[in-house]
Amino acid sequence: MSASSNQRTLFQTWGASSPPRNVAQSKKERKKAAGRRKASQSDAAQRPAPNPLCSEVRSFTPRDAPEEISHSTETPKPSAYEDEDEDDDLMVVAVIEAEENLQRDQDSLPQNEQLTCPTPSVGKITYPDFPGFDSSSATVWIYPTNYPVREYQLHMSQAALFQNTLVCLPTGLGKTFIAAVVMYNFYRWYPAGKIVFMAPTKPLVAQQIEACYNVMGIPQEHMAELTGSTAAHRRQEVWRSKRIFFLTPQVMMNDLSRDSRLAPQIKCLVIDEAHKALGNHAYCQVIRQLSCQTRQFRVLALSATPGGETKSVQCVISNLLISHIELRSEESPDILAHSYQRCVEKIVVPIGDMLASYQTRYLQVLEKFTSRLIQNRVMAHKDLQNLTKYQLLLARDQFRKNPPTHIKGPQQGMLEGDFALCISLCHGYELLMQMGLRSFFLFIQGIMDGSREMSRARNELQRTPTFMDLYYEIETKFAKEPGIDDPYVYGHPKLQKLDEVVVQHFHFLTQNASSSTGAGEVGTRVMIFSSFRDSVQEIALMLNRHSPLIRAMTFTGHGSAGKAVKGLTQKEQLEVVNRFRQGGFNTLVSTCVGEEGLDIGEVDLIVCFDAQKNPTRLVQRMGRTGRKRQGRIVVTLAQGREERIYNQSQRTKHSLLKSIMGDKSGFDMYPNSPRMLPEGLNPTLHKMHLTCGQFKQRLGSRRSSKGRHSLIHLQNFFCQEGTASGGFLSSTEYSLWESTMKLREDEAQPTLRRSSRCVSLPHDEPFQDDIPKDGVPVRELSLWEWRHWQHRELPTHVVDHSLRCQHYIKVMQLVDDMREENKK
């Protein structure tokens, strides 16, 4: 691009105009021109202060940017650095002239009509069919070069600007980068429009706002993060004053319902984790609500995998109004140069004699209750080893719709109870074969002690001797947590194999680090996935026996209703992720909440403890490694049914990708993708280096300086390996406390508030407030910052808890329940 064409493009972009110059200037002449500009600036100092509309340009301009501008028409091809300097020079002039023109237009308006974010007016053409469109900025679309230019990202960004696009990229290859480029260009083209980024969870929302800022440097004062905890009237004020919004679809739906004027202002809608847009998901509701009020908005959908099967992909396309798909797999040629090799190992583990004997006895219990359904001809005969909950649910639905004529009222209710019992027992069978005896025991224990509120099932099982013998036998093995010196009982052969794989990984890397650097510390990370919380807890307890070599932490969702283990709040989830990246602990044991969205960081080893029938979940798990260096993925499978599920999932994934990439015409695309630019306007690509500032964390979005979030619930801390003799922490507990809870030296030390109701005795020690701190910052200790330790009774020795303590615990539980209700 020549200097003159570059100048013309930029002036059109920023809404300023400049007379053409066709005569080359010498360096001295350019300096004189710069001097004249400085003099004109001093004259302009007498005018009112300009409106800082172009802060987006300032954020891209280095502080020491020169003011000379080259206007040569015949110059050799400049280097990359010369192009960047030329862009900076041109932007300085564009900013000055644009701000002067904008201020004059702003001053001419009545006071009540002046805009906080006015649109450029120089050279602007009005298009009635495109309200709010700025024609002076639409001659180019900008792509950043402050990150390495990847051709697939450039191609996808261009496609997403001009049609509703579903972008499918493996995890870690820059979907958020593409979204930031598209959002920024609509931010320029529609200066008074709104851009929305939706993500399914609040932690992901908080992460994406920072990621988008770091790519394009959109002024942070124009962006806002909205959550359900913000009052509705406050959100309305934010909608009026901001331009780019990061929020969950539920919040978006609520605000659209309250304010009908909001929908026409939205010009670009980005949907993260778009494969969730099925059925009546909040994503689908938002699209339907917007479509009822306006057609003039662009949709960009992001996902690592479009769906588990062709039918679900079509549903996503229809629900999100997708007219074009951009899909890349790990084998795509333009992806291979930017991804690292990932070694996938499938380890098939025989179930062993012990587990096989329990399987046989449990199937006898299941057969007793399924036989009653088969005898009444409401369920077809099935092989019990391959019976699934889904098959039972289908049979129950068919029974409800078309009950046999020989089934009368009372008998129909008994069969309904048999269906419910068989579904629960089938779930227990899956736990037994995939997760092991300990997870299975915790499940049936919940039935027998009444915590699962299945009184009929408990009564039926208590009258079944085979089941009761099985239950008591397992109870003797797993009712009590093993002590430090007790031999560990593996509930499933897969657990033993998992233990060996993780320990071998850390030993191997530790030995390599010792031989190469002389230090035993190694910066590797391991992530383990399991579908059930009880299994997650069991794996973490098992691995923490190898502390300090392995420091494991659980990562679960925030829901806790009906769960034996209390989940993590969303703030705690972010804190766990941060500690994992910083090295507080080196192993993360996660449920499905860690599969997608959140930036966990670089992980060297991924272990999938169970197989997933849906290939989407498996791809999400595998995408957590191989981002910056080679990664390893180990999938542990029980021989038999679980192995077949995994193989079927892999076949489904390959056939689905092949059908999408080979023949996209097989899908019904949305035919009416709106044109967001007037006819005849076709922006050209302009690459430029953007300088982004430092992102300022929103107050309260991270760990508060006034308090300390507890990352460990009591079940995680006190049930590690039992308490050491004498009431002191065991080595495992101490390592966990030191890595996640110990106050650092630079943190304010807590001090107690002096009580006015207590009179100290003369010989008492000086109160903490009176002790000099030698310059160490102190703060008043608050029970609120340790609220996660107040949910239940702590272990005691000799002296039991008082009645007042028990009342306090109930109050804290009530407060937490009320807080969870308010979040819903």
Both tokens assigned to 751: 């001090």
Q: Within 10 A of 127 (CB to CB), how many other CB atoms are there?
A: 16
Classify residue 192 by its DSSP letter: T
**Using one digit for the tens of pLDDT, what is the confidence trace for 501-535?**
999 988 888 777 666 555 445 678 888 999 888 88
- The answer on pLDDT for 173 being more than 90 is no
- The answer on pLDDT for 342 being more than 60 is yes
- The answer on pLDDT for 159 being more than 90 is yes
At residue 77 the predicted structure's pLDDT band, cuts being 50, 70 and 90, is very low
Both tokens assigned to 345: 């190992």
Residue 46 sits at φ, ψ, to 5 deg, of -75, -15
Span of 182-186, 325-329, 616-620 with lowest mean pLDDT: 616-620
Mean pLDDT, all residues of the chain = 75
Choose between 633 and 738: higher pLDDT.
633
Choose between 749 and 807: higher pLDDT.
807
pLDDT > 90: what percent of the chain? Answer: 22
Q: Work out the average pLDDT over 114-118.
A: 43
Which positions ≥6 away from 5 have C-beta within 8 Å?
Answer: none
Place of tokens 């085979």: 466
Radius of gyration in angstroms for the set of CA atoms belonging to the chain, rounded to a whole number: 32
Among candidate residues 130, 129, 126, 107, the one with its CA nearest the CA of residue 118: 107
Q: What is the residue-wise DSSP string for 593-644? A: GGSSSS----BSEEEE-S--SSHHHHHHHHTTBSSSS-EEEEEEEETTHHHH
**Using one digit for the tens of pLDDT, what is the confidence trace for 309-332?**
788 888 999 999 999 999 887 778
CA distance 133 to 677: 8
At residue 738 the predicted structure's pLDDT band, cuts being 50, 70 and 90, is low
Which positions ≥6 away from 372 have C-beta within 8 Å?
Answer: 415, 418
DSSP run (H or E) holding 441: helix 437-448
Span of 60-69, 225-234, 315-324, 633-642 with lowest mean pLDDT: 60-69
Query: What is the pTM assigned to this prediction?
Result: 0.64
CA distance 341 to 6: 41
Q: Work out the average pLDDT over 286-295.
A: 91
The neighbouring-strand residues paired with 299 are 269
List the end-to-end C-alpha distance of the chain, in Å, as a whole number.
54
DSSP run (H or E) holding 159: helix 151-162
Q: What is the residue-wise DSSP string for 5-60? A: HHHHHHHHHHT-------S---HHHHHHHHHHHHHHHHHHTTSPPPPGGGHHHHTT
